[in-house]
Chain A
Amino acid sequence: MERKINALVITASDSVAVAIEPLQAGDVALCKIAGNEQEIRVTQDIPIYHKIALVDIPAGQPVIKYGKSIGCATKPIKTGDHVHTHNVVSIREAIAR
Chain B
Amino acid sequence: MNFLGYKRPDGKVGIRNHILILPTCACSSETCRIVASQVNGAVSVINQNGCAQVEGDLEITKQVLAGIAANPNVYGTVLIGLGCENAQPNDMETLIRSKTNKPLQTLIIQEEGGTIATVKRGIEIALQMVEAATKLQREEFPISELIVGTNCGGSDPTSGLAANPVVGDLSDRLVDLDSTSILCETTEFIGAEDILAQQAATPEIAQQIYNIIKRYEDHLTNVGESLRNGNPSPGNKAGGITTLEEKSLGCIHKGGHRPIVEVFDYAQSPTKKGLVIMDTPGYDIASVTGVAAGGAQVMVFTTGRGTPTGNPIMPVIKITANYGTYQKMKDNMDFDASPVIRSEKTVETMGAELLQEVIDVANGKLVKAEVLGIHDFAISRLCNYV
Contact = CB atoms under 8 A, between A and B. Distances in A.
Is chain B a partner of chain A in the same complex? yes
Interface of A: 5, 8, 10, 18, 20, 47-51, 63, 65-66, 68-71, 83-85, 88-93, 95-97
Given A20-B341, A85-B242, A68 B161 contact: no
Contacts of A66: 160, 246, 249-250
A9 B240 CA distance: 15
Contacts of A93: 191, 193-194, 245
Contacts of A8: 161, 341
10 contacts: A18-B157, A49-B157, A51-B240, A66-B160, A66-B249, A66-B250, A84-B240, A90-B243, A93-B245, A96-B210
Contact of A47 (B214, B240, B244, B322): B240
Given A18-B157, A20-B342, A85-B237, A71 B243 contact: yes
B240 A95 contact: no
Contacts of A69: 191, 245
B158 interface: yes
B355 interface: no
Interface residues of B, number: 32
User: What 10 pairs across the A-B complex have the smallest Cβ distances?
Assistant: A70-B246, A90-B243, A50-B240, A71-B243, A66-B249, A49-B157, A49-B240, A70-B245, A88-B242, A84-B242
Give the secondary structure class of A's interface. loop
B213 interface: yes
A55 to B, nearest CB: 17
Contacts of A95: 193, 210, 213-214
A66 B191 CA distance: 12
Contacts of B250: 66
Contact of A71 (B158, B194, B240, B245): B245
B124 to A, nearest CB: 54
B156 interface: yes
Interface in B224-266: 228, 237, 239-240, 242-246, 249-250
A42 to B, nearest CB: 15
A68 B245 contact: yes
A47 B324 CA distance: 13
Contacts of A85: 237, 242
Nearest to A93: B191
B177 interface: no
Interface in B334-362: 341-343
B210 A70 contact: no
A68 B249 CA distance: 8
A84 B243 CA distance: 9
Nearest to A50: B240
Contacts of B244: 90
B197 interface: yes
A40 to B, nearest CB: 17
A82 to B, nearest CB: 10
A90 B228 contact: yes
Interface in B50-89: none
A17 to B, nearest CB: 11
A95 B197 CA distance: 11
Interface string B179-208: 000000000001111110100000000000
A88 B240 contact: no
A71 B197 CA distance: 20
Given A49-B322, A96-B210, A70 B240 contact: no
B240 A18 contact: yes
Nearest to B213: A95
